[in-house]
Amino acid sequence: MQSLIRLISAMTKVERIILAILSVIVLLSFAMLLRMFYLSSTTNVASTGGTYIEGAVGELQPMMPWFVTGNDVTRDVNALIFAGLMKFDPIAGKVVDDLATVKISGDSRTFTATLKPDIKWHDGTPVTADDVLFTFTSIQQPGFKNPILQQNFRGVTIEKIDARTVRFSLKKPYVFFTSNLTLGLVPKKAFDGVPADKLDQALDFGFSPIGAGPYSFLSLVQTDISTEVTLRRFPQTGMPPYKIERVVFRVFPDYSALLTDILNINGVRLVPRNGEGKPILPRNFTPVPYTLPQYVGLFFNMGRTITADPNVRLALQLATDKQKIVDAVGETHVVDTPLLEVNLGDWHYAFDAKGAKGAFFDSSWNMPEKLRLQRLLEQREANDVGPLRGLPTVALLGTGASLTLTGSTTDIKLPARVNGVLVETGSRMPDGKIRTMTGTWIVKIPSGNGGSGTLKIGMNIVKMTDAKDNIIDSAYVERLTNIDAFTNASEEQRLVRQFLQSKDRPTDDPKKITVLDLYLEHGYLRRKLASDPPHTRVNEHGKELKLTLLTSSKPETYGTIANSIKEQWAAVGVKVIVDVPATKKEFEDRMLKRDYDAALFGESLFDNLDSYPYWHSSQIQELSDPSKMRLDALNLSQYTSFEADLLLTRIRETGDEKSRNAALKELNTLFKKDIPALTLYSPLAIYAHDDNVRGVTFGKPAVHADRFSHFDQWYVNVHRQFMDGKSWLSFPGWLLKFAGIEM
């Protein structure tokens, strides 16, 4: 060391500066090599701690598992605070054990749940069978304020077996019952003295909840722009360890308000999209698109006369261009059946406007052009036979003028009358005199304003009668006094003749004319132009084919869809009245009373994909007695089918997957034939997170809150860790390899 000091002391000032610079370079190079080695030999791994902040748009309601129907924001918060006996695993695609181990009997009628050891509420007290019993039996009590949830436990016997075990006994097999056991448990002691019909009003618990989920409630704060709920990690014995220490939900009134706070947010619950279907997000956020087992559809009210006609429903199905609709609202997942688990590769019905018109052919609804042509053909047929054949179907006659008719006396037995006017024998000469004994007859029918025997303005039935006033023949003549109307009527008759002459011509013959080439205007047929708007179909009584399409104002895309359907159906002759009630309550009342011909609405099958509540005849609404109407009557189409009932029952009662799949295919075929609804698409949802959030995995969630099913894999804090077989002792070997020196 002394030698090194003497050497440095002997250096000139410049030499010492150069040495210092070289020393710094060597040290920096070594440090850089150390860093390169460290980065190449280590990897980022999750670290416990940190805070995840999620923004959402909506309204936070009391946090009670019983009453989150229709409020997905609150359901999301509840997913971390509360836990159930079981939970849906979106990666496994099935319901799995959560707080309990559940054993299912072979006949799917008995479900025995045993709580796992040492499960505790967030206040540190143990979860017991009494809590489980209270959670579920409260639902069965009269006055409980969630009838849809109540229906799930109707007829179920719930009994305590021991301190940790509860048994659920069903009257009939139900393979999907485990889905009902995913309901979050609540502590019995928190609701002491609260009657079942007042549970929804237990706001002290609702805004300061106690659950047994992976996170406990810490605080609820109302700020100027949001409602903020903070949760804290709650380790539970025997449960997966969660890494994120705190979770903050910030609930905003609208997306604009959320964006003002985007710098303080790690995740966005549901990202809206622009007109092109692209998410509206800052660039540093990663979108995660997904769909739920939901569909938006048109439910035909089969209790209404028009939509009860299967030909009408088929025609409307064929007339609907689903791709055009989903493109208009930025959606991507077209669906063709309410049975979302069925393979849709060979769906029977595709958009076919021509086929829709053909389907209407077998119904009682026709285009006015067809009815007009049919009437004209009937009149022409009547005028082409009998003693009155040759009677002009159109006549231009002013007031006081008369229509002269002639014919052969061999066709009639005299005396005879036409419209009460006596028939004369002979024929009229140019000078106005009648020449007798010519074998012909002649009669002059006067025009007037509707007097007996006169030709009134408009269509007239001309009748020939014998001496006993028996009708010999009848024919039609339309009296016109306006030259423009006469021109239109004459052109119409020319088109009728052309139609008859071309009936046997090939379809591609340019001279062929069909009813599709005709258009009714001002009461007369003319050649159809490309610019002519379609008419509305009518029945034989002249009643228009008019449907009321009910939908809600939220989401706004429903309005776009309804108007698109209105336009598409108008093209095949259906008038649609889009009805959007002013308030949510009015809409719900209309749905409850089935006050619509068709309803645009969304349905969710949740995790079990059970279609029974939506299509079984037991779920139709009882309309004859208002006192019997049910909120949980979910068969919006009022669809009744004995065959469908059997299949729906088999699907939910059989545990044999092969038998169940066969029943699903049969039911799907039946839906194709009956068309109780027209399914459109499965809505696309987008969650997004920034770069600080890692480990995000969704699978196939059944509800939005299922994104938290594997929240134990999410993390925001990281630290670097040496890879297997690596340590600081590996640095020399790495350095030699880096320098290209082989050992």
Residue 408 pLDDT class (50, 70, 90 cuts): confident
- Tokens matching residue 192: 């002491």
What pLDDT was estimated at residue 124?
Answer: 94
Which residues, 6 or more positions from 282, have their beta carbon under 8 angstroms from its beta carbon?
A: 262
Average confidence (pLDDT) over 589-612: 91
**DSSP summary character for residue 518:** E
What pLDDT was estimated at residue 730?
Answer: 72
pLDDT digits (tens, 9 = 90+) for 185-221: 999 999 988 999 999 999 999 999 999 999 999 999 9
Q: Are 474 and 485 in contact (CB under 8 A)?
A: no
What pLDDT was estimated at residue 207?
Answer: 93
Whole-number percent of the chain with pLDDT over 90: 62
Average confidence (pLDDT) over 131-136: 96
Average confidence (pLDDT) over 569-577: 94
- Tokens matching residue 531: 């610019």
pLDDT digits (tens, 9 = 90+) for 627-664: 888 888 999 999 999 999 999 999 988 878 888 889 99
Residue 588 pLDDT class (50, 70, 90 cuts): very high
Residue 4 pLDDT class (50, 70, 90 cuts): low
For 137, 154, 156, the CA distances from 150, given in Å and listed in that order, are 10, 6, 10
Q: Which residue has the higher pLDDT, 31 or 165?
A: 165
What pLDDT was estimated at residue 450?
Answer: 65
* Alpha helix positions (H), 231-301: 255-260
DSSP 606-620: TTTT--HHHHSGGGS
Residue 147 pLDDT class (50, 70, 90 cuts): confident
Helices (H), strands (E): how many in the chain?
18, 33
What pLDDT was estimated at residue 635?
Answer: 94
Estimate the crossing angle of helix 483-501 against helix 368-383, to 10 degrees: 80
Average confidence (pLDDT) over 619-634: 88
Query: CA-to-CA distance for 581 and 565, rounded, in angstroms?
Result: 18
Peptide bond between residue 415 and the one before it cis (omega within 30 degrees of 0) = yes
What pLDDT was estimated at residue 473?
Answer: 93
- Placement of tokens 């059997």 in the chain: 646
Q: Position 206: which residue type? A: G
Residue 245 pLDDT class (50, 70, 90 cuts): very high
Q: Are 85 and 185 in contact (CB under 8 A)?
A: yes
Choose the weakest-confidence range: 96-100, 629-633, 669-673: 629-633
Check pLDDT > 80 for residue 480.
yes
Residue 25 pLDDT class (50, 70, 90 cuts): confident
Answering whether pTM is above 0.85, one says: no
pLDDT digits (tens, 9 = 90+) for 265-293: 999 999 998 877 788 887 789 999 999 99
For 42, 272, 666, 712, the CA distances from 692, given in Å and listed in that order, are 19, 22, 49, 16
- Tokens matching residue 171: 């009257």
- Placement of tokens 């006033």 in the chain: 469
What pLDDT was estimated at residue 36?
Answer: 78
- What does CATH list as the number for 369-501? 2.60.40
Check pLDDT > 60 for residue 346.
no
Check pLDDT > 60 for residue 486.
yes
Q: Are 381 and 426 in contact (CB under 8 A)?
A: no
Q: Environment class of residue 218 by beta-carbon count within 10 Å: exposed (0-12), middle (13-18) or buried (19+)? A: middle
Question: How many other CB atoms sit within 10 Å of the CB of residue 728?
Answer: 11
pLDDT digits (tens, 9 = 90+) for 506-564: 877 888 888 889 999 999 999 999 999 989 999 888 899 999 999 999 888 999 999 99
Q: Environment class of residue 731 by beta-carbon count within 10 Å: exposed (0-12), middle (13-18) or buried (19+)? A: middle
Query: CA-to-CA distance for 431 and 436, rounded, in angstroms?
Result: 14
What residue ranges do the domains of the chain occupy?
A: 2-48+719-738, 294-365+543-682, 369-501
Average pLDDT, the chain: 89
Check pLDDT > 80 for residue 460.
yes
**DSSP summary character for residue 308:** T
- Tokens matching residue 301: 């009210």
Check pLDDT > 60 for residue 348.
no
Residue 164 pLDDT class (50, 70, 90 cuts): very high
Residue 349 pLDDT class (50, 70, 90 cuts): low
Query: CA-to-CA distance for 155 and 613, rounded, in angstroms?
Result: 16
- Placement of tokens 């804290």 in the chain: 232
**DSSP summary character for residue 171:** S
C-alpha 605: how far from chain center: 12
Question: How many other CB atoms sit within 10 Å of the CB of residue 540?
Answer: 10
* Alpha helix positions (H), 346-450: 353-361, 368-383
What pLDDT was estimated at residue 638?
Answer: 96
Which residues, 6 or more positions from 344, have their beta carbon under 8 angstroms from its beta carbon?
A: 335, 336, 337
Q: Which residue has the higher pLDDT, 276 or 383?
A: 383
Peptide bond between residue 534 and the one before it cis (omega within 30 degrees of 0) = no
Query: CA-to-CA distance for 90 and 703, rounded, in angstroms?
Result: 10
Q: Are 557 and 685 in contact (CB under 8 A)?
A: no
Q: Are 648 and 611 in contact (CB under 8 A)?
A: yes
- Placement of tokens 């995995």 in the chain: 697
Whole-number percent of the chain with pLDDT over 70: 95
pLDDT digits (tens, 9 = 90+) for 426-446: 766 655 555 655 688 888 999
What pLDDT was estimated at residue 435?
Answer: 62
pLDDT digits (tens, 9 = 90+) for 690-727: 999 999 988 899 999 999 999 999 999 877 777 787 77
DSSP 9-43: HHS-HHHHHHHHHHHHHHHHHHHHHHHHHHHHHEE
Sequence-ordered strand ranges (E) for 172-276: 215-222, 227-233, 246-252, 267-268
Q: Which long-range contacts (CB under 8 A, 24 or more apart) does 527-531 make?
A: 527/495
Cα–Cα–Cα angle for 48, 52, 58, nearest 5°? Answer: 155
Check pLDDT > 60 for residue 345.
no
Q: Is the dihedral of CA 524, 526, 532, 535 positive or negative?
A: positive
Q: Buried b / exposed e across 281-290, counting CB within 10 Å, b at 16+?
A: beeebeebeb
Instruction: Give the fold, CATH level 3, of 294-365+543-682.
Output: Dipeptide-binding Protein; domain 3 (3.10.105)
- Tokens matching residue 292: 């739920």
